[in-house]
Every structure is written in structure tokens, then in C-alpha cells.
């Protein structure tokens, strides 16, 4: 096929020898199958911000590292330079997450290079060597649904052990190769320790899995793995081999708001007294 304009720099720089075909077009990128020497890989071409249906919500940006304070200020102000920096952060987030997760043993495509807004990575294939289908396109039995769900919960745990939460996990960004589910599409991945919305994103990811697999195995609809996983994480007890039941109990006790406010007032009063005492000494 004719080389798309966005892939021309990769061909010119010898990173890609031939563009074979378009594989898919999603809300954030267009993916092509390309030949790199003797290897067949895929090239993910990120769409411009105004063409993406997945917006760079501030909740996903929180906790992400930028090169310097100047870049951070520019991104906050939304200047032209700031928007350019935000695009770079958005695109490199997936590369960073893929390297981090692959090292942690998570089943994700192997990343090879990121150049001019294009990510070169492994082409995930099925047993016949064809591009692996999305989970949404695979017919599941009750037994396979339970097995795949268990495998993905394991992957979620491995991700969180590496400090990462997918943030948009669903049947549409999971591929199925000969050995089971492979997680893809990670530009919105968040740092669990640096994001105030981390638990809600984990809860949504795990909830999406339960809802989808619950069509084939209804018993999964009554599980609560997210709270159980997060409880272990908060206590510093989460590890790859943690035993989960999916039946964690959430506290029904209402928050003692008045007690909390009394503690806050007490701390404020102590601080005022400390300052008065310091002024008197001076």
C-alpha cells in the first residue's frame, strides 16, 4: 500500500522498510502492519489531540512527570508550547508504561521504538500467525471466560505491583493470542502512587472485566476484586502471588465527619498557639 504521510519519516530513517496494510483505527490512533527487515511489526500512529475522541482528562495527567518546571507551567497554561509538551507526554506515556510493565512480567506488546509520534511495537498474533483478535470478537465458553478473567486479574495485580493502573481497560483493548489475553492501549495509564483518582480508575477497570466476562460466567458479577486488591496495595502487602477471593468486605461504617473536623480544628489551634508562643519569645 502507499506509505501514509505520518510513516514517511520512519521509512526515510530506515526504521520501516514497507507498510503492508492498515490493521485498525481507534479513538486515539491508527495502527498499521509494517515490515522492519525480516520482522513484521505494527506501527501505532497517534492522532492529533483535536482528532481523538479520548480526551486528555486532567485526571489522567495528574502525577505524570515532565522534564522541568517550565514545561509543567506551560502545560498548565495551555500555551502552544504547553500543548506540544502535553502531546509528547501523552505519547511517551505508553512507551514508558510498556517498558515498565514488560519488565514486571505483564502480558503487553514489546515496544521497539517511538519516532515522530509513531510507536513501533510487536505485532501480537494468534496461533495461526494472524493478527490477534480483540477480546470483544472472541466467543467464550463459561470455562474459558473464568480462566481469562482470572488471568487478567493477575495482570492487574502485576501492573499495580509495578505502580501502574491501565485507566481504560475493557474488552476493546485486550487482544487474545495463542496463550490468552494481552493488554494493549496504555497512553492513559496512571501512576498509582501519584494520582488521587487511582483507586476509582482501578475499580472501573476491574468492574469492566467483571461486566464483560459476567455475560458468560454470571457469578463474576458479584465479585469485588478491585477493593480487595487496593486494600492489599494500601497496606504494602500486594505481591504477584497474592491470593484473592473477590469477596472483600467494604466497611459499612459512616465516616465520622464531625470527629475529623474536631481533629482539624485542634491541629489549627495548636499551630496558632505555637505561633503566639514564638512571637512572645521573640
Active site residues: 168, 185
Question: Rounded distance, CA 45 to CA 7, Å?
Answer: 8
Alpha helices by DSSP H, listed for the chain, are 8-12, 58-61, 69-77, 80-103, 142-161, 198-213, 225-234, 257-281
Burial grade of 257 (CB within 10 A; 0-12, 13-18, 19 or more): exposed
Q: Which residue in 225, 160, 228 sits closest to 193, CA to CA?
A: 160
In terms of phi and psi (left: phi > 0; alpha: psi -120 to 50; beta: otherwise), the region of 117 is: left
Q: Which residue in 159, 176, 239, 166 sits closest to 208, CA to CA?
A: 166
Q: What is the largest CA-CA distance in the chain?
A: 82
Residue 187 C-alpha cell reads as 497512553
Residue 202 C-alpha cell reads as 482501578
Amino acid at each position: 500500500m502507499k506509505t501514509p504521510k505520518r510513516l514517511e519519516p520512519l521509512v526515510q530513517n530506515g526504521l520501516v522498510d514497507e507498510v503492508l496494510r492498515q490493521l485498525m483505527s481507534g479513538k486515539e490512533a491508527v495502527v498499521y502492519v509494517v515490515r522492519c527487515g525480516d520482522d513484521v511489526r505494527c506501527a501505532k500512529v497517534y492522532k492529533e489531540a483535536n482528532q481523538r475522541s479520548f480526551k486528555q482528562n486532567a485526571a489522567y495527567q495528574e502525577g505524570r512527570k515532565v522534564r522541568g518546571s517550565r514545561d509543567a507551567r506551560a502545560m498548565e497554561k495551555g500555551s502552544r508550547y504547553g500543548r506540544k509538551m502535553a502531546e509528547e507526554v501523552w505519547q511517551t506515556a505508553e512507551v514508558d508504561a510498556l517498558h515498565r510493565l514488560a519488565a514486571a512480567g505483564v502480558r503487553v506488546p514489546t515496544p521497539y521504538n517511538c519516532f515522530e509520534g509513531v510507536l513501533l511495537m510487536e505485532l501480537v498474533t494468534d496461533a495461526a500467525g494472524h493478527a490477534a483478535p480483540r477480546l470483544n470478537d472472541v466467543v467464550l465458553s463459561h470455562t474459558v471466560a473464568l480462566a481469562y478473567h482470572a488471568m487478567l486479574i493477575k495482570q492487574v495485580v502485576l501492573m499495580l505491583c509495578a505502580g501502574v493502573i491501565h485507566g481504560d481497560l475493557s474488552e476493546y483493548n485486550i487482544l487474545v493470542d495463542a496463550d490468552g489475553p494481552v493488554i494493549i492501549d496504555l497512553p492513559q495509564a496512571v501512576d498509582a502512587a501519584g494520582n488521587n483518582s487511582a483507586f476509582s480508575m482501578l475499580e472501573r477497570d476491574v468492574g469492566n472485566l467483571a461486566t464483560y466476562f459476567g455475560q458468560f460466567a454470571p457469578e463474576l458479577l458479584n465479585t469485588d476484586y478491585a477493593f480487595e486488591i487496593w486494600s492489599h496495595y494500601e497496606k504494602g502487602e500486594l505481591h504477584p502471588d497474592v491470593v484473592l477471593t473477590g469477596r472483600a468486605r467494604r466497611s459499612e461504617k459512616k465516616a465520622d465527619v464531625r470527629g475529623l473536623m474536631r481533629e482539624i480544628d485542634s491541629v489549627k489551634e495548636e499551630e496558632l498557639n505555637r505561633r503566639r508562643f514564638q512571637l512572645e519569645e521573640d
